[in-house]
Amino acid sequence: MAVFVVRRLFVSLLTLFVSSFLVYVLVAFSGDPLADLRTDTSTAREAKIAHRIEVMHLDQPVPQRFVGWLGGAAKCVVPGRCDLGQNRVDQDVTALLSQAVGVTLRLVLAAILLAIVLGVSVGLISSLRQYSGFDYTITFLAFLFFSLPVFWVAVLLKQYLAIDVNNWYEDPRVGPITAVVLAVLSALTWGAIIGGSSRRRWIVRGVAGVATFGMLSYLSSVNWFRFPALGPGLITVLSFGAAVGIAFLVAGLGRRSVLYSCLATAAVGCAAQFVVTPWLQDPKWASWLNVLLLLVVALLVATAAGYLIGGLDRDQAIRASMMTAVVTGALIVTDLVLRSVPGYADLVNGRIFATIGDSTPNLVRCANQVRELPPTRRLPLAGVVATRPAVLPRVRRRWVPARVVARARTARTAARVPLRAGARGRRGRGAASVARARRQDAATLARAR
């Protein structure tokens, strides 16, 4: 056994050495590191060329340069001694690699979690609807996405799920055509998931399509996409709906003990949101570590509920209750994140999804602006602390004169007041309406100050 382990380690080290040498040689011959300086017209061109040659050891043969780089890389086994050289703009490669490793780990962790959630959910539904249209569709999509180049899919996702969404957020409304297309997709999806007889599938498709179209139209009309939130009511409805759905998928609705365990877990989670939400809104406690601790507590509570209520179906009840707890907790955290979107969008000039570099643009400037703001209720779970006044009630959408809007924007810069109404001009409004709107906005601005 020891001989096998030593042999495998030797082969692995040899493979690493050969692959590193090949990559180093290919990069060294892939371009001219002095190309930009050869066209430089400044008087210091020769000095710049000499400096770059000295820093990057370009006066040495490629194998000799590789040996020097390998010696610096070997020091990485000792903390603080790693030396990978400098790039063409005199930046330390070790520091750049440290930043890249952090970003890569975050992306990999997010991808793994998303893959687990989607894979388990879709796989569970496919197994329950084996040899159905939904099962064949999921199998086809799985083969399709596995065969597509990853970099090509990444470019498409960046274009349509980041850049286009940022552009859409300038006026976030869902048009009738888009709502109809999404309603049709929702109808087909839910009809395939629920299954059953042809009559039952058409009823499910009709209900899902109409509900989706109505929901999108309503949310667009009330400007929900600009000021999103779930709220305690919607969290409660979604949590209990998820509890029923999870109990149906895990054990069927005939196992009442499993259903009651899921409903009890959802009830505890919905009641706990009134304690958890203010706690996470406090900047002293708002962190993803505390969110993970709350997840552990939620899983323990769910385990206890499944154990006490599950009866003979205790194992299934515990699993279903834990899934319900995860969904309920995710809804609470999602509500906090959604409520912070308006303030966060103001700090990043409306580009809520970063598309340049490895972090959110102007993140340091945004954080400094937040620290200079007056004390308010903070919602920090979107990457940058977004603020919302604790004493300012929700302002109804109404007509506001242009001069009042200008004054409100000035106060908004200082107090982060989310301006919900826009100026629409004076046409069709009487003097009494104008005076009443001015008095209401004056009172609003006074409370904000």
In this prediction, the residues of the chain whose per-residue pLDDT falls under 70 are 195, 357-449
Closest alpha carbon to 392 in 350, 422, 420: 420
| Same domain (yes/no): 265, 409 | no
| Same domain (yes/no): 219, 337 | yes
Cβ neighbours of residue 27 closer than 8 Å, sequence gap 6 or more: none
Q: Which residue has the tokens 């877990």?
A: 265
Burial class of residue 276 in the structure, from the number of CB atoms within 10 Å of its CB (0-12 exposed, 13-18 middle, 19+ buried): buried
| Same domain (yes/no): 67, 180 | no
Beta strands in 326-424 (DSSP E): 377-379, 386-388
Instruction: Give this prediction's pTM.
Output: 0.59
| Long-range contacts, 222-227 (Cβ 8 Å, 24+) | 223/172, 223/397, 223/420, 225/169, 225/172, 225/173, 225/174, 226/169, 226/172, 226/342, 227/341, 227/342, 227/418, 227/420
Query: What's the number of domains the chain is made of?
Result: 3
Single-letter code of the amino acid located at 252: G
| Same domain (yes/no): 223, 338 | yes
| Same domain (yes/no): 238, 320 | yes
| Same domain (yes/no): 83, 111 | no
| Same domain (yes/no): 194, 247 | yes
How would you write 64-99 as a 3-class SS string? HHHHHHHHHHHHHHCCCCCCCCECCCCCEHHHHHHH
Residue ending a domain, choose from 347, 381, 408? 347
Chain segment 202-257, per-residue pLDDT in tens: 998 999 999 999 999 998 888 898 889 888 988 999 999 999 988 887 888 888 89
| Same domain (yes/no): 193, 214 | yes
Closest alpha carbon to 232 in 290, 278, 282: 278
The pLDDT value recorded for residue 446 is 60
37 touches 52 (CB < 8 A) = yes
User: What three-state secondary structure class fits 390?
Assistant: coil
The pLDDT value recorded for residue 183 is 93
**Could you give the dihedral angle defined by the CA atoms of residues 429, 431, 434 and 438, in that order, rounded to the nearest 10 degrees?**
180
What's the domain range around 69?
17-89
Residue ending a domain, choose from 305, 322, 347? 347
Question: Sign of dihedral through CA atoms 137, 140, 143, 149?
Answer: negative
| Same domain (yes/no): 179, 245 | yes
Residue 291 lies in a domain: yes
The pLDDT value recorded for residue 286 is 77
